[in-house]
Structure 1
């Protein structure tokens, strides 16, 4: 949570404060006090500059959250300058220090976000039709992203203008020019690129990647990207209608998804037009020349439907999608009624899968309604969903930020699998994962000997990019063993790319979430079948991850240098809540008596896995 002082500093650095300064400050204060329960702010009371800053505040980004943003948009580390030694005579000369300014200093985190050094590109699909007001709001969001260093390459689509209809071409061009005018209205420079920038058919003699989607219906050559690169170098946002050159060099209208797929591949291959060995010198020259790396960092799909509806959330959108392991399941559970309310959800999901295959591994796609386009700023800064998908299901259902217009964040993701014996574990890779994640040396022999007697299951993400190890700890005071989360680890290189959430969702589905509709995901385990069990784990009191654990646990208790966390079995908890009705669960139930003391006794006796 950002401190109140940061909001005051932001107000001080804003270039134009309106006469309603006090009302604006109150909006800042309400946002900072509680982002979960902040009342909606009337945009009529906020000037454009303050609206932009408020959007940054709403992202609720800590320094840790914003690391991916700074890695992409911040200055490259410079080698330290050598300190020249001065003669003794010069050292004694007094140096006049400039007077200290009384102006309030801006928080470095916010200042860096507002003043990016490197510019990157995003592919944006603006999928209308939109009203004038809606298009104006979308254009304002694109301008805000440009201020943060993300320059949009926009492709226009209009679902109401069918291909082949009379005057469809001129209607699409008109939509293109409308968006250009709105972008310029909000202070951006925009360029309509009305000529075709892609060509029909597969790319001739082009290198292919391993892909499990349909081949691209269009491609680009380096010369086709000249208008886009020229616009970006001139500080302009290119706006492109979905045209392509056919084999007779005629410009025809095609599906915008084919244009975006071709651009994703072509722009990724073109990149910054530099060889890898040029390294940091290339980055420096790009900064100096104002050039833009063409490699797309984001894919943004702005439409009227919003994200992909989820069967587990009563049709509310998926929050985060792991394409590698969830695509097939999403298609299988897509309800017939959604084919009318979310007509393009599956085709846009396929578009994301195509584009992300060519974009960098850290890239993401976001599907968002025009009503929630301001959330794109939070996604850019943190590269995470608006609401974490690994939060308890009950909390997600009651969260005011979860609406039919909540964006869906999509990542290439990782395969998820579940193993149930120690022999199925690759010890070399598991050891490397645990030691890199915890920064300590593992007592390998003792650790695996204990797992041979207590292991319940291990969830593995990708090629040991992350793992959750759950054991059965015998407890004579309870009718069944304690389900204990022994290790939860993610490689440092995968922290911030969604692996943590993917892994925790799979852990939920395999343990305390069993029997709940939201647990029937294809995570390689029981797929929702069975009875959920309380999940228990411990963490040292100074563990920086504890804040994340607090949000996901049902309860916790302090045990000296440790904190004991637990998650109640969701199916049983829901049954008890239904039985109690409005009485809630305000006091200890019969099934809860004695379990906390039993957990404490057993968990405190579990030996350490690390060398001293």
Structure 2
């Protein structure tokens, strides 16, 4: 839960602490945690490589719980035959002996992980050393429960020339050999498993979907080689081939093959789940639906890395909300980036198409071949290497943010800014707040206050998350500008951990303390970077477990009894002041800082509680 809390505060006590709190801005910056440097390519000779790779992921308790929910051991279902053995007359029957249920501990040891699938685009050319490093990453992922379905692409094999088919098959064999040298069991699939063109029963020109229909398709029987390999514990490795209308196998774009597989594998998995298992199928593994073909990840491993970002001077985007950012990333892609990232936009389109068919919890990652170990961190945490909602100044100075930092892509949610209380769906907002905070909202009083004080509301999706900012006037100085107060920051429990929190906070940054800077020009329906930034203030109970997250994103904080007052300084003003002072640096307390903490400490505690007793 995300709880800007409330409580009465004695103003004189707050003022007596103001001297120490002025240093909180600097203390918070000093306290920012830098992520460790990206590890070098792991030495294949070490027996502890795999364990070290997992430890480097540094998962939180929530991350570990989410991973175990997807990849933890599953109890085996035992079906009783519909027709028990007939009783033979005139024979003495023995009492039935009840079979003991296997111990969960024993089950987890014998079958430690539940395997899921990932679609992997291996986009070369790669040297032998680079291929070795990538192959080792694929083997590590399989140990953690993610089995890769690899589609091989080689950008330097020209299209339409004689011998291209033989060349791509040779590259596929090279990938197979690299995997087997790392101890993996593989199965090369050298024939076409997809068919060119849309499915016969659909017309892409009349499709109402915002997502393009894949240029190829599959039927369930086409996926038999992939299913067979996965059941045998093998990694299927495919060439980018497809059957044309004359049933000829031709080389096509790997993106077309991957998009068709993403859609086809999801549809087959749904078909499997719709079939009720019987005692016969439970005892015949060759027909039992024991392999979930639903891809949980899309991994694009190449020499380019992630998608360049205008907000990071060409360094990669960290987390992309495809629903709201896809078109804008296209519009802000600079021509100078094309030489170093020739396939960035086509891979971005691939991620959008695939994630449209994959489960909402799925993600895509675009990663440079130099950082294969980051795939393990992504698998366990399903988060970007560095949070995109951290302060921009911190991201710019973060040693972990390099040209090789991966880009994580989520299907995401729409982002909308509402400035009139009449535009709020009160039923959905109340449901969101009560589920997020686990308390009963005093609806009448809460919405009556918003009618008078609302500045804006940011809504993600269909009220999956919301940030409510109010304008709080000073009770002692009517001429003082109103305070931008973060009254509520809430995300539905079902969306915590899927990127919604970061999407929401980035939009909040762009509408308040990030205004006026070029990296705040995002298409979220708000001011799109136009205007002057303003300090953002909020409060939280001192025992709120989310405070650690707030500490990392605030400019400063001060503890006041049972409460913590947080704030984010307007970034444009800080940048201007830093430039004005040049090498002299900022003083301990700037003129524009004087008195503001006392004002906040006087106004913020007087905001009434939103909850029923």
Output the TM-score relative to the length of structure 2: 0.85
How far apart are residue 281 of structure 1 and its match? 11
- 3-state secondary structure, aligned to 2:604: helix
**Aligned pair partner of 1:180 in 158, 162, 176:** 176
Aligned position for 1:529: 530
How far apart are residue 291 of structure 1 and its match? 3.3
52-61 vs 416-425, greater mean Cα deviation: 52-61
Any residues of structure 2 matched to 1:258-269 within 5 Å, and which? 258-269=256-267
Q: Deviations over 1:359-417 (max 9, x none)?
A: 01111111111011210111111111110100000000011110011101111111100
Structure 2 vs 1, CA of residues 76 and 235 (structure 1 numbering), >3 Å: closer, same or farther? closer
Structure 2 vs 1, CA of residues 76 and 601 (structure 1 numbering), >3 Å: closer, same or farther? farther
- 3-state secondary structure, aligned to 1:125: strand
Q: Decide whether the 8 Å contact of 1:199 with 1:219 is kept in 2.
A: yes
Any residues of structure 2 matched to 1:329-408 within 5 Å, and which? 329-408=328-407
**Aligned pair partner of 2:118 in 115, 119, 122:** 122
335-344 vs 584-593, greater mean Cα deviation: 584-593
How far apart are residue 497 of structure 1 and its match? 0.8
Q: Decide whether the 8 Å contact of 2:122 with 2:150 is kept in 1.
A: yes
Counterpart-to-counterpart distance in 1, 2:196 and 2:42: 46
Aligned position for 1:496: 497
Q: Deviations over 1:48-92 (max 9, x none)?
A: 44222111111110111223212211134799xxxxxxxxxxxxx
Aligned position for 1:152: 148
Structure 2 vs 1, CA of residues 283 and 322 (structure 1 numbering), >3 Å: closer, same or farther? farther
Given the alignment of the two structures, is residue 233 of structure 1 paired with residue 234 of structure 2, yes or no?
no
Structure 2 vs 1, CA of residues 489 and 246 (structure 1 numbering), >3 Å: closer, same or farther? same
**Aligned pair partner of 1:246 in 244, 254, 273:** 244
Please tell me the root mean square deviation across aligned C-alpha atoms, in Å. 2.7
Given the alignment of the two structures, is residue 304 of structure 1 paired with residue 300 of structure 2, yes or no?
no
How far apart are residue 278 of structure 1 and its match? 5.2
Aligned position for 1:82: none
How far apart are residue 280 of structure 1 and its match? 14
Aligned position for 2:511: 510
Aligned position for 1:608: 609
Q: Decide whether the 8 Å contact of 2:435 with 2:493 is kept in 1.
A: yes
Counterpart-to-counterpart distance in 1, 2:489 and 2:272: 40
- 3-state secondary structure, aligned to 2:307: coil
Q: Decide whether the 8 Å contact of 2:473 with 2:480 is kept in 1.
A: no
Counterpart-to-counterpart distance in 2, 1:279 and 1:442: 46
- 3-state secondary structure, aligned to 1:274: helix
Structure 2 vs 1, CA of residues 316 and 298 (structure 1 numbering), >3 Å: closer, same or farther? same
Structure 2 vs 1, CA of residues 44 and 534 (structure 1 numbering), >3 Å: closer, same or farther? closer
Counterpart-to-counterpart distance in 2, 1:113 and 1:362: 27
Q: Decide whether the 8 Å contact of 1:472 with 1:484 is kept in 2.
A: yes
- 3-state secondary structure, aligned to 1:154: strand
How far apart are residue 173 of structure 1 and its match? 0.7
- 3-state secondary structure, aligned to 1:271: helix
Counterpart-to-counterpart distance in 1, 2:511 and 2:470: 12
Any residues of structure 2 matched to 1:269-288 within 5 Å, and which? 269-271=267-269, 273-276=271-274
- 3-state secondary structure, aligned to 1:549: helix
How far apart are residue 166 of structure 1 and its match? 1.5
- 3-state secondary structure, aligned to 1:371: coil
Counterpart-to-counterpart distance in 1, 2:463 and 2:163: 54
How far apart are residue 535 of structure 1 and its match? 0.3
Q: Decide whether the 8 Å contact of 2:36 with 2:400 is kept in 1.
A: no
- 3-state secondary structure, aligned to 1:452: helix
Unaligned runs of 5+ in 1: 1-33, 80-107
Q: Deviations over 1:551-575 (max 9, x none)?
A: 1001111111111110000000111
Any residues of structure 2 matched to 1:554-569 within 5 Å, and which? 554-569=555-570
Q: Decide whether the 8 Å contact of 1:113 with 1:148 is kept in 2.
A: no
Unaligned runs of 5+ in 2: 1-31, 78-104
Counterpart-to-counterpart distance in 2, 1:555 and 1:424: 33
Counterpart-to-counterpart distance in 1, 2:57 and 2:281: 28
- 3-state secondary structure, aligned to 2:156: coil
How far apart are residue 112 of structure 1 and its match? 8.2
Q: Decide whether the 8 Å contact of 1:114 with 1:148 is kept in 2.
A: no
- 3-state secondary structure, aligned to 1:556: strand
Aligned position for 2:581: 580
Aligned position for 2:70: 72
Counterpart-to-counterpart distance in 2, 1:142 and 1:63: 25
Structure 2 vs 1, CA of residues 258 and 77 (structure 1 numbering), >3 Å: closer, same or farther? same
Counterpart-to-counterpart distance in 1, 2:289 and 2:579: 61
Counterpart-to-counterpart distance in 1, 2:353 and 2:487: 37
Aligned position for 1:18: none
Aligned position for 1:12: none
Aligned position for 1:83: none
Q: Deviations over 1:140-167 (max 9, x none)?
A: 1111100000000000111111221121
How far apart are residue 124 of structure 1 and its match? 0.4
Structure 2 vs 1, CA of residues 115 and 366 (structure 1 numbering), >3 Å: closer, same or farther? farther
Q: Decide whether the 8 Å contact of 2:41 with 2:371 is kept in 1.
A: no
How far apart are residue 276 of structure 1 and its match? 4.5
Counterpart-to-counterpart distance in 2, 1:538 and 1:281: 58
Counterpart-to-counterpart distance in 2, 1:44 and 1:357: 34
How far apart are residue 583 of structure 1 and its match? 3.5
Q: Decide whether the 8 Å contact of 2:416 with 2:458 is kept in 1.
A: yes
Structure 2 vs 1, CA of residues 114 and 342 (structure 1 numbering), >3 Å: closer, same or farther? farther
Aligned position for 1:318: 317
Q: Decide whether the 8 Å contact of 1:122 with 1:300 is kept in 2.
A: yes
- 3-state secondary structure, aligned to 1:66: helix
Q: Deviations over 1:209-240 (max 9, x none)?
A: 85223322111111110000011011100000
Counterpart-to-counterpart distance in 1, 2:345 and 2:47: 36
68-77 vs 565-574, greater mean Cα deviation: 68-77
How far apart are residue 39 of structure 1 and its match? 5.4
Tell me which of the two structures has the higher relative contact order, counting C-alpha pairs closer than 8 angstroms and 6 or more residues apart.
Answer: 2
Structure 2 vs 1, CA of residues 164 and 42 (structure 1 numbering), >3 Å: closer, same or farther? closer
Q: Decide whether the 8 Å contact of 1:120 with 1:295 is kept in 2.
A: yes
Aligned position for 1:192: 188
Q: Decide whether the 8 Å contact of 2:50 with 2:140 is kept in 1.
A: yes
Q: Decide whether the 8 Å contact of 2:42 with 2:49 is kept in 1.
A: no
How far apart are residue 479 of structure 1 and its match? 2.8
Aligned position for 2:7: none
Output the TM-score relative to the length of structure 1: 0.85
Counterpart-to-counterpart distance in 1, 2:310 and 2:110: 39
Structure 2 vs 1, CA of residues 242 and 552 (structure 1 numbering), >3 Å: closer, same or farther? same
Q: Which has the larger radius of gyration?
A: 2
How far apart are residue 339 of structure 1 and its match? 1.6
